[in-house]
Amino acid sequence: MKGTYQLDHLQYLENEAIHVLREVAAEFERPCILFSGGKDSICLLRLAEKAFRPSPIPMPLLNVDTGHHFPELNEFRDRRARELGARLIVRKVEDAIARGIAVPAPGEVSRNRLQIPTLLAAIEEFRFDACVGGARRDEEKSRAKERFFSFRDAFGQWDPRNQRPEVWNLYNTRVNPGEHMRVFPLSNWTELDVWEYIRKEKLEVPRIYFSHRRLCVRRQGQWLAVNEFLPPQPGEEVRELRVRVRTIGDIISTGMIESPADSLDDIIAEVAAARVTERGARADDRTGDAAMEDRKRLGYF
Amino acid sequence: MSTHTRPVEILRFNTCGSVDDGKSTLIGRLLYDSKNLMEDQLEALQRSADLTGGGQVNLANITDGLRAEREQGITIDVAYRYFATPRRRFIVADTPGHVQYTRNMVTGASTANLSVVLVDARQGVTEQTRRHACIAALLGIPHIVFAVNKMDLVEWSERRFLAIRAEIEAFLPKLDAFRDVKFIPISALHGDNVVDPSPRTPWYEGPTLLRHLETVHIASDWNLTALRFPVQWVNRPHRPTDSALHDFRGFSGQLAGGIVRTGQWVLVLPSGWKTTVREIWTPEGIEAEAFCPQSVTLVLEHDLDISRGDMIVSPDQLPGMSQEIQGRVCWMHPKPLIAGRKFLLKHTTQTVQAVVTSLESRLDIATFEAEPGPSELGLNDIGEVRLRTSRPLIYDGYGFNRMTGSFILIEPGTNATVAAGMLRSPSEPARLEYTDFAI
């Protein structure tokens, strides 16, 4: 919108996110960016490139590998970090279990809860004082009350009833030793904004976001990808479908949606017309009305 | 194929009202009627209606996200909601209306273009209505809407609506703040005049709430008159092998006011050096100009020692520069403010030490009267204070520029954000020891 001195919605969100990223670089000693290879963190990385260019991104990338990631995602993650010349730190839930940092409950298959101690151990190991993540407020109800700079105490806990007021764009970034901050530059972005930005910036995303044929098993009202961790049980319906993912969690809990969308334009049209939220397709968020709030209090990202 | 052809702007608004005025219901209604609610959200609502609501779907449950809120039926913290129409994107700050939650309202209002103040048609103007209008005025929100809600409970009476409107119009001049004011008769519960015009208010000829939100003119809400560029981060690539970048030194930050153009003379404060702008790196590449609120990196003609907290300004419109400042604060902490207390003060990109030298007055936000010489300011009090800072602030009055006129106070040790502050206009523009050209 040259000549009118007005920003459209994507430009507004981009400028806001860049401001937040630069505030992190300027005010923290040891920040990192949480990078999973998912669509939100892909946008985050692009924004970080823009915030600091022509300098390289002045912080390492961190990923907690649950061991249940889609292989396509890890491949993409590693390649993207290499292209950027960024330092990528991966910490595995598997190793955290072996070292007794994360302890699975008897019969616990999901790695969702076990990511938390793994992440907190990585924060301690590298003495990170800020972790920048791609979470958005529109994802989930308890995230709607999240700050751009979200304080975590020495146990990594979030206290939703005692958050620092966040006024204007004046962010209180101060933490004491052992405490840290989670920072969410995409707080004000919606799912549609993310896809529109990916299209505008011509960003590459993992293929599993686009329609492909895959063997799926019907479980608890959704289609899950058949894989080594998730063998179909006798009597379960298994079909090969044209599917894509809308949001990526672990391979054992990410619902595949039937979709012919195989281009960014198709995805944007599909998201714009969608009648269920993105996280409606994730079994981990459906355990209870307050499922996310409970996990966030404990240090989830 | 593109889903839109024309640029879509973002409008940020907050909703405020007393506990039972129906704020959350209104937001639920806006989302529901503009088809921004999803099936799984509706299902979750239905589930909680069956569990706790005796089968009645409660639109307020869409926004009340924390468990304690659903249990107590109240909104505790500022919740942000997003919805879109083909014309605009909306960011809604749902701010609680209890007396003790002024700090949340200030939080939600600080970034808003527009405030929606809910008034219960049965109760009429209450002390809370005046408080909400007062806070919106103090925070410099340009646009305000009084949504007179629960019109269904007063038989859609035009007389009732006009009486409420007259009462509000009687006190608005005292606030002397808003660029435009709208009054809209609605029923959030039933949806009248929220998204669709109501057949029950034939006497009302104005827009529905959503229509107004979609069309109110917000392009001039940013200050584009005086260049203000607080330096946020110094960009030095440190790449000795890359000859193009070897000497690169840029100053990154978000334009807090005005327009910057390549070739233009600028002044660096507090040093007073003058130089010209050589390059402007915007998120979209190198451009000849950039404007507030863009995040950019400036390359200057001369190699100057500039660091975070300095401000680049236009030489013909200088901000104030002083260690003695005065402003209004909203006190946000249970431990009261008394004169003599020391804090960290964050203003633009600079954090300095500050001592509160005196409490000038406390504002009664229901009567708009200032009570002089209070002994302390308690949680949710708004008052006028004087401060002395360890280094000069480079600032404007809040009424002139929200970004260079605002600050926060942080308590050392706990690091709690204890106050949001709005500065009085400086008594004089920055006086410079020397204004030599650089080199």
Last residue of a domain, one of B193, B220, B247: B220
Give the lowest-confidence range in A26-30, A101-105, A128-132, A162-166.
A162-166
In angstroms, the separation between the Cα of residue B226 and the nearest Cα of chain A is: 14
Within the 46-65 window of chain B, which residues sit less than 8 Å (CB to CB) from chain A? 47-48, 63, 65
- Residues B308 and B341 grouped into a single domain: no
Q: How many CB pairs under 8 A join A and B?
A: 181
Alpha-carbon distances of B435 from B149, B197, B227, B269, B418, rounded to whole Å: 57, 60, 17, 10, 37
Q: Say if B1 falls within a structural domain.
A: no
Q: What is the CATH number of the domain that holds B286?
A: 2.40.30.10
- Residues B106 and B180 grouped into a single domain: yes
Q: Say if B434 falls within a structural domain.
A: no
| For range B412-431, the mean pLDDT | 94
Q: Which pLDDT score is estimated for A109?
A: 82
Question: Cα A24 to chain center, whole Å?
Answer: 18
**Contacts of residue B257, Cβ cutoff 8 Å, sequence gap at least 6:** B222, B223, B224, B225, B226, B227, B228, B292, B396, B401, B403, B404
Model-level pTM? 0.92
Structural domain tally of chain B? 3
Q: Which pLDDT score is estimated for B76?
A: 61
**Contacts of residue B319, Cβ cutoff 8 Å, sequence gap at least 6:** B226, B228, B269, B311, B313, B394, B395, B396, B404, B426, B429, B430
Closest alpha carbon within chain B to A14:
B283
- Residues B173 and B250 grouped into a single domain: no
Q: Say if B238 falls within a structural domain.
A: yes
Q: What is the CATH number of the domain that holds B194?
A: 3.40.50.300
Query: Mean pLDDT of all residues in chain A?
Result: 90
Q: Say if B170 falls within a structural domain.
A: yes
Q: Say if B437 falls within a structural domain.
A: no
The ipTM assigned to this model is 0.92
Q: Which pLDDT score is estimated for A107?
A: 83
Answer whether B100 touches A (CB < 8 Å).
Answer: no
Q: Which pLDDT score is estimated for B307?
A: 96
More confident call, B153 vs A109: B153
Per-residue pLDDT of A261-287, as tens digits, reads: 999 999 999 988 876 777 665 555 554
List the single best residue of B39, B40, B248 to mutate versus A (max A Cβ within 10 A): B40
List the single best residue of B279, B415, B418, B423 to mutate versus A (max A Cβ within 10 A): B415
More confident call, B33 vs A255: A255
Q: Say if B108 falls within a structural domain.
A: yes
Q: Where are the alpha helices (DSSP H) in chain A?
A: 9-27, 39-52, 71-84, 93-98, 115-126, 191-200, 264-273, 291-297
Domains of chain A listed by start with CATH number: 9-197+290-297 (3.40.50.620), 206-283 (no CATH)
Q: Which pLDDT score is estimated for B439?
A: 43
User: What proportion of chain B, given as a percentage, has pLDDT over 70?
Assistant: 87
| For range A68-74, the mean pLDDT | 92
**Residue B241 pLDDT > 50, yes or no?**
yes
Q: Do A22 and B2 touch (CB under 8 A)?
A: no
- Residues B343 and B399 grouped into a single domain: yes
Q: Which pLDDT score is estimated for B199?
A: 96
Q: Do A51 and B111 touch (CB under 8 A)?
A: no
Q: Which amino acid is at B265?
A: W
User: CB-CB: which of A13, A56, A142 is closest to B66?
Assistant: A142
Q: How far apart are the first and last CA of chain B?
A: 54
Alpha-carbon distances of B215 from A72, B206, B218, B376, rounded to whole Å: 45, 12, 9, 43
Answer whether B42 touches A (CB < 8 Å).
Answer: no
Last residue of a domain, one of B181, B202, B220: B220
- Residues B196 and B239 grouped into a single domain: no
- Residues B28 and B111 grouped into a single domain: yes
Name the DSSP letter for residue A207: G
- Residues B160 and B210 grouped into a single domain: yes
More confident call, A272 vs B2: A272
User: CB-CB: which of B291, B349, B420 is closest to A165?
Assistant: B420
Which residue is associated with the tokens 């503009």?
Answer: B34
Last residue of a domain, one of B177, B193, B220: B220
Q: How confident is the model at residue B1 (pLDDT cuts 50, 70, 90)?
A: very low
Beta strands A61-65 and A88-92, pairing class: parallel
- Residues B244 and B379 grouped into a single domain: no
Q: Which pLDDT score is estimated for B58?
A: 64
- Residues B144 and B65 grouped into a single domain: yes
Q: Which pLDDT score is estimated for A91?
A: 97
Beta strands A130-132 and A180-183, pairing class: parallel
Per-residue pLDDT of B75-123, as tens digits, reads: 567 888 898 888 999 999 987 666 557 888 898 999 999 999 999 999 9
Question: Cα B289 to chain center, whole Å?
Answer: 26
Q: Say if B37 falls within a structural domain.
A: yes
Distance separating alpha carbons of residues B301 and A4, to the nearest angstrom? 27
Within the 285-344 window of chain B, which residues sit less than 8 Å (CB to CB) from chain A? 291, 293-295, 297, 308, 332, 344
**Which domain does B155 fall in, by range?**
9-220
Which residue is associated with the tokens 């961790």?
Answer: A229
Distance separating alpha carbons of residues B127 and B123, to the nearest angstrom? 11
Answer whether B82 touches A (CB < 8 Å).
Answer: yes
Question: Cα A155 to chain center, whole Å?
Answer: 21
Q: How confident is the model at residue B4 (pLDDT cuts 50, 70, 90)?
A: very low
More confident call, B245 vs A202: A202
Q: Which pLDDT score is estimated for A284?
A: 56
Q: How confident is the model at residue B47 (pLDDT cuts 50, 70, 90)?
A: low
Contacts of A192 in chain B (CB under 8 A): 84
User: CB-CB: which of B10, B245, B308 is closest to A26?
Assistant: B308
CA dihedral B14→B18→B21→B24, nearest 10 degrees, is 40
- Residues B29 and B129 grouped into a single domain: yes
Question: Cα B127 to chain center, whole Å?
Answer: 22
Q: Do B77 and A160 touch (CB under 8 A)?
A: yes
- Residues B344 and B283 grouped into a single domain: no
Q: Which pLDDT score is estimated for A20?
A: 98
In angstroms, the separation between the Cα of residue A100 and the nearest Cα of chain B is: 32
Q: Do B65 and A144 touch (CB under 8 A)?
A: yes
Q: Say if B2 falls within a structural domain.
A: no
Contacts of B34 in chain A (CB under 8 A): none
Q: Which pLDDT score is estimated for A279?
A: 64
User: CB-CB: which of A6, A22, A143 is closest to B252?
Assistant: A22
List the single best residue of B214, B417, B422 to mutate versus A (max A Cβ within 10 A): B417
- Residues B203 and B251 grouped into a single domain: no
Alpha-carbon distances of A193 from A199, A201, A278, B101, rounded to whole Å: 10, 12, 13, 31
